A = this chain, B = another copy of it.
């Protein structure tokens, strides 16, 4: 029995080694399932993520603009905020956002927890305050109990709120795309056109910025290298954080994971289709015009990056009680 187990282990090791070689030399790595997740914290965070009582109006939740039915985005160029204010920039996908080097297009938040605190208190987005968020949550017995269970403390803090949201967001990875299955050794997972698109994606230089597990998300790059980009929004980019003029119009390279679902594209949401986005990237970033067939191949490759979407039970939110501060949708 022991020798059989050892034998099986050796076979398994060989399989893993063989699989390892399938992507060891590729500049893109498969998305790994989420690990080290605190399930109680994530479940609380999921409720908070879907709860519009984190907004002044009682109408806007995290999921309003990072909609998990729609690739973790809102699929409009710039988001709708409190009182229908127009957002200044395209809402990036929350999917695989734990893989980003930092959060927001300009990287001004170091991590998911810091990011989560922003929109709640932004007067153009959820237009609430951290103080009122705590007052609302602490008044709701269902939340008070769950925070106590998770944090073993009687007092709710904004850091706990954002830690819970961030933990939930860490679960929102999308493994097992067709491309990842190919990386992991399933040679039938991609068509000849898709493979040709991937080869062109590498050879033409797209891969220089769009690489790694997230196929992006790991560097800041200037939008408009070869020729300037005429943006539809005013965002100055990374220079807003660093203060360096050389970082002007530099943005975090977006992940291309699930890019089929996260239209429209770019920080201004100005590119409606993948074909348009590939064309603009080729000309402005690489000084290269892809012909129709090349463009179609790259687009075909990009669509293989759609992973398994998180399967989520819609949370049932604990009801407000008589003492809960009420939303102010109109004033």
Q: Does A52 contact B (CB under 8 A)?
A: yes
A59 touches B76 (CB 8 A): yes
- Asked if residues A84 and B83 are in contact (CB atoms below 8 Å), the reply is yes
Using CB atoms, name the residue of chain B closest to A47. Answer: B69
Q: Does A261 lie at the interface of the complex (its beta carbon under 8 Å from any beta carbon of B)?
A: yes
Q: Does A315 contact B (CB under 8 A)?
A: yes
Complex alpha-carbon distance, A206 and B261, angstroms: 51
| Contacting pair B272 A69 (CB below 8 A) | no
Interface size class of A (residues with CB under 8 A): 35 or more
Contact with B along A302-331 (1 / 0, CB 8 A): 000000010111111101101000110110
Note all chain B residues with C-beta closer than 8 A to A316: 69, 309
Shortest Cβ distance from residue A244 to the other chain B in the assembled complex, whole angstroms: 32
**In the complex, what's the smallest C-beta–C-beta distance from A271 to chain B, in angstroms?**
11
> What are the residues of chain B within 8 A of A314 when measuring CB–CB?
68-69, 311-314
- Within the complex, which residue of B57, B76, B326, B330 is in contact with A272, where a contact is CB–CB below 8 Å? B326
The A interface, classified by DSSP as helix, strand, loop or mixed, is: loop
Q: A312: which of B57, B58, B313, B320 is its contact (CB, 8 Å)?
A: B313
The answer to whether A102 has its CB under 8 Å from any CB of chain B is no
A residues whose Cβ falls under 8 Å from a Cβ of B: 50-53, 57-59, 64, 67-71, 74-77, 80, 83-84, 86, 260-261, 263-264, 272-275, 309, 311-317, 319-320, 322, 326-327, 329-330
Determine the chain B residues whose CB is within 8 A of the CB of A68 once the complex forms: 314
Q: In the complex, what distance in Å separates the CA atom of A275 from the CA atom of B322? A: 9
Q: Does B309 contact A311, Cβ atoms closer than 8 Å?
A: no
**How far is A69 from B319 in the complex, measured between Cα atoms in Å?**
10
Chain B residues in 8 Å Cβ range of A52: 67, 70, 74
Give chain B nearest CB distance to A145 CB in angstroms.
16
Given contacts A67-B52, A329-B80, contact A320 B75 (CB under 8 A): yes
Interface centre among A59, A67, A273, by most chain B C-beta atoms within 10 angstroms, is A59
- B84 and A322 contact, CB distance less than 8 A: no
Q: Which of B274, B313, B329 contacts A313 (CB 8 A)?
A: B313
